[in-house]
Structure 1
Amino acid sequence: MNPYFVWEPYSGEPGWRPFAALLSPDVVAERVAASREALAGMFGLGLEALPARVVASVLFLGYASRLVSPPLAQALSGSVPGVGPEDLWWREVPGGPLPVAVHAKENRPASDLFDVAIRGLVMPLAEVFAARFRLSRHVLWGNVASALGGAAGQLGTRDAWSAVQELVARPPLEGMADVAVGRLRRRNCCLYYRIPGGGTCGDCVLKRL
């Protein structure tokens, strides 16, 4: 569909880094710094106009989208990839969706979507971002809900939205968004509006109904 739904087969070629590297606060700080510079160039701003916490939230939203979109799509066909952090790799790019590669393992039932995508992949990364940048967990888990809503919107099926409804009914996603078929509205904000010229996202709580 689009790059957010792609996990490449892991080839072992140079440049790929294990997913576990992203669970290092120092590596996360490096990625936020790189993203901050890229956003500064895109908006024509000085770094002082881009608070690191805001950039960290926006970056985490993008990472969350890369982690939840492929499993959600596969769940619609009755299974999810049976992977954990040790089975994923990533590589640096100047912009756009984070490239992710996977070492294929046996699939698991679609009912394991929460355990694989949310508890297994997203939760450890959210804890690193929360600790390193003192980000509210409500903001971070709202970002995850937003990532799920974005994926469901791209998939465009009732089953996709039903799966998202089930996921956001479970802690720590519970209470982060209101979901109906074809629509998700956050109950908190990813902070993107604090970037001059950034505006608000389509599901933002700051938007008027």
Structure 2
Amino acid sequence: MVLLAFVDLDLDPELAALRPLGGFFVLHTAVPPRTGLPTLEQAYTPTSSAAASEAYTDPLAFRVRKVARALGAPEDRVAASLAHQGLAARLWSVALGAAALYGQVPDLDPRLLRWDPDGSAPDDLWLGEVRGLPVASLDEVVRERHLVPLATALSSRHGVSVRLLWGNAGAALASSVRMIDRWARTAGRPDAAERARTLAAGLFTHPDLARTIDPATGRRRTCCLYYRLPGGGLCGDCCFDRPPGRR
């Protein structure tokens, strides 16, 4: 039997240990290049101001429209689903990556995390202050404080199914585990991969995430609607074997 040694580190001010894992894991901690970027709390509960652009007053709606234009989404809910999956993947990757490598989770308080809805990973998120939380808070940090209000906002405003959104969240979490595992193999860090798998298994016991992924095949149980894009096919973990017929 191989014994895995978990070596915990203090969170460094730049979260530099996350960089080798790839862009989805990178979290900027410096001052954002543009002033006035909205926080994710503002994205979940937009404000109204005729003097400011939509990217600042309603960043979530701005992001959905940006995705729709870029991909030619035929329905608002398709763009909302894909925008959701991208943000969920960023949040899970940062938090789970830090938990696996540092043994701590950065406090991703939505009031401290600034978001550029016009940006892409890794130049979309900036954390105002780095402070560590125990790994036991991982579910609260991501699911409770971000994914719950994000699902509520997208479902109520863009008509996308809540069950589909939690399927996205489960798929994003599973993808983060796979990316950590792939990096750990080349970096000689089986301890990090083991910790990520163990933590993710615990997260998948929550009713919001349970049964979103088939444990036998790794495929999700709902579809993110990517196939509905012009020329869109199926994702590698899709629940379908072939694209459903379009009405």
- TM-score by structure 2 length? 0.73
Query: Are the equivalent residues in 1 in contact too, given 2:164–2:224 (CA < 8 A)?
Result: yes
| Structure 2 partner of 1:193 | 227
Note the aligned Cα RMSD (angstroms): 2.0
| Structure 2 partner of 1:9 | 29
Q: 1:51 aligns with which of 60, 72, 75?
A: 75
Query: Are the equivalent residues in 1 in contact too, given 2:77–2:158 (CA < 8 A)?
Result: yes
After TM superposition, give the deviation of residue 78 of structure 1 in Å: 1.4
Opposite residue 84 of structure 2, the aligned amino acid is F
Rounded Cα–Cα distance in structure 2 between residues aligned with 1:70 and 1:143: 17
Moved more, 185-194 or 87-96: 87-96
| Structure 2 partner of 1:176 | 212
Moved more, 83-92 or 141-150: 83-92
SS at match of 1:188: coil
Query: Are the equivalent residues in 1 in contact too, given 2:218–2:237 (CA < 8 A)?
Result: yes
Instruction: Identify the structure with the greater strand proportion.
Output: 1
Query: Are the equivalent residues in 2 in contact too, given 1:56–1:133 (CA < 8 A)?
Result: yes
After TM superposition, give the deviation of residue 81 of structure 1 in Å: 0.9
Query: Are the equivalent residues in 2 in contact too, given 1:6–1:70 (CA < 8 A)?
Result: yes
After TM superposition, give the deviation of residue 158 of structure 1 in Å: 3.1
After TM superposition, give the deviation of residue 72 of structure 1 in Å: 0.3
Query: Are the equivalent residues in 2 in contact too, given 1:139–1:188 (CA < 8 A)?
Result: yes
Query: Are the equivalent residues in 1 in contact too, given 2:60–2:117 (CA < 8 A)?
Result: no
Opposite residue 128 of structure 2, the aligned amino acid is H
Matches within 5 A, 1:139-178: 139-156=164-181, 157-178=193-214
Query: 1:138-182, CA deviations, whole angstroms, 9 ceiling, x for partnerless residues?
Result: 1000000111111111101233222222111112112211236xx
Query: 1:102-149, CA deviations, whole angstroms, 9 ceiling, x for partnerless residues?
Result: 022421111111011111122111110111112111100000011111
1:136 is aligned to 2:136: no
Q: Greater Rg, structure 1 or structure 2?
A: 2
Change (3 A) 1:113 1:80: same
SS at match of 1:179: coil
After TM superposition, give the deviation of residue 10 of structure 1 in Å: 4.1
Opposite residue 89 of structure 2, the aligned amino acid is S
Q: 1:29 aligns with which of 53, 61, 85?
A: 61
- TM-score by structure 1 length? 0.86
